[in-house]
Amino acid sequence: MLLFLHIVSFNACRIKIDEDFLTVLIGIQCWNLMLMLLLAKMHSKERRIRRWWVRPINYPRETQGIFWNHSYRLCNQQVIDYEEFFDYTRMDVQQFNYICDLVRPYLSKRSIRTPLSVELRMAITLE
C-alpha cells in the first residue's frame, strides 16, 4: 500500500513514499533522539576537575580578611596564584606594578596613622 504525502512546493506535486521506507525513517529519527538524550544526560554529569578546594591566595582570608590578604600579597610582591591575581586585577603582575609606580606620587599619603598602601588602594579600585 502506498502512502501519499502532500508537499507544498512551487509546482504542488505529490510524492509517493512506501510504508516500509517511512517506518525505517521514523525508526532512524527515534534512534537519533535517544542518542541525543543520552549524550545530553552524559554531558550534564561532567564536572570540572578542581585543582584546589580553596585557592592558595584565599587561605588567610577567613582569619585576616580580604583586605589584609590583598595588602600582604601585593605589598610584599608575593604572588603565588597568577590566575587569581589576574582575576582580581585584570592584569598581570608586571603591568600592575608599572601602573602602581606611575600613580604612586598621587596616591601616597603622609599622615600620623598608617595609610593604606598604594598597591592595596589600586587593587581595591581595580576590583
One DSSP character per residue, 2-58 reads EEEEE---SS--EEEEEHHHHHHHHHHHHHHHHHHHHHHHHHHH--PPPS-SS-GGG
* Amino acid 15: pLDDT: 59
* Amino acid 105: pLDDT: 86
Q: Are residues 110 and 68 in the same domain?
A: yes
* Amino acid 5: pLDDT: 44
58, part of any domain = no
56, part of any domain = no
Q: Is the pTM of this model over 0.75?
A: no
* Amino acid 10: pLDDT: 41
Residues of the chain with pLDDT under 50: 1-13
* Amino acid 61: pLDDT: 60
Question: What dihedral do alpha carbons 92, 93, 98, 101 form, nearest 10°?
Answer: 140
51, part of any domain = no
Domain with 72, as residue range(s), is 64-126
* Amino acid 110: pLDDT: 76
* Amino acid 87: pLDDT: 75
Q: Are residues 79 and 117 in the same domain?
A: yes
**Number of domains into which the chain is organized:** 2
59, part of any domain = no
DSSP at 27? H
Cell, residue 60: 588567610
Closest CA to 76 of 57, 49, 52: 57
117, part of any domain = yes
Q: Are residues 76 and 120 in the same domain?
A: yes
Q: Are residues 36 and 83 in the same domain?
A: no
* Amino acid 46: pLDDT: 65
* Amino acid 18: pLDDT: 77
52, part of any domain = no
Q: Are residues 37 and 10 in the same domain?
A: yes
Q: Are residues 75 and 32 in the same domain?
A: no
Sole residue written with cell 550534564: 44
Q: Are residues 68 and 39 in the same domain?
A: no
